[in-house]
Amino acid sequence: MDEIGRGTSTFDGLSLAWATARRLADHIGCFTLFSTHYFELTDLPNQCPNMINVHLGAQEHNDGIIFMHTVREGPASQSFGLQVARLAGLPSTVISAAREKLIELEHSSQSQPLSARPAIQAELFQPDASDPLKEALEQLDPNTMTPIEALVALSQLKSKLVP
């Protein structure tokens, strides 16, 4: 499967690719080669023991790319988007402008304090952190509570939501 979710917004595409990969692994169980540019999906083998990451070897050379035609374990360590764009025939003026914008974006991202940066996309798919409200709800059994006990419990839970 190649670039599932590519033609939509980043979060929509990433969500579709993630859900597709999980469905294939968890429910269908078929062997699938899943090609994607969503680096965030490389965490899936940590959640699904029947998944692995591999990538095709490549090397940069003189502002270009040389494909090594080898399969290597683990996720790719970098993107070669600009080099591939050059191979695809994009004009050098576009490649140069893209390189400048890439440097600007990378610099901007690194110079912002973590609290000012947008949420990392991978956080969408990490296991939920401890949630005291959820834990409190899981401990309640409404089938064994009187109506007044249920109202008291609901009031206590609601108070946890209000700062």
For the chain, the domains span: 10-125, 132-161
CB 10, CB 120: distance < 8 Å: no
Kindly report the number of other CB atoms within 10 A of residue 147's CB atom: 8
Angle at which helices 147-161 and 132-139 pack, to 10 degrees?
Answer: 170
How confident is the chain (163 residues) per 10-residue block, as mean pLDDT? 82 90 89 84 90 88 83 86 88 91 82 48 52 81 86 82 62
Q: What CATH number has the domain spanning 10-125?
A: 3.40.50.300
Share of the chain above pLDDT 90, in %: 17
E-strand ranges in the chain read 54-61, 64-73
pLDDT at 35: 83
pLDDT at 128: 52
pTM: 0.55
Sign of the CA dihedral with 89 first, then 93, 98, and 99 last: positive
**Nearest 5°: phi and psi at 159?**
-65, -25
Nearest CA to 35 among 16, 55, 8? 55
pLDDT at 115: 43
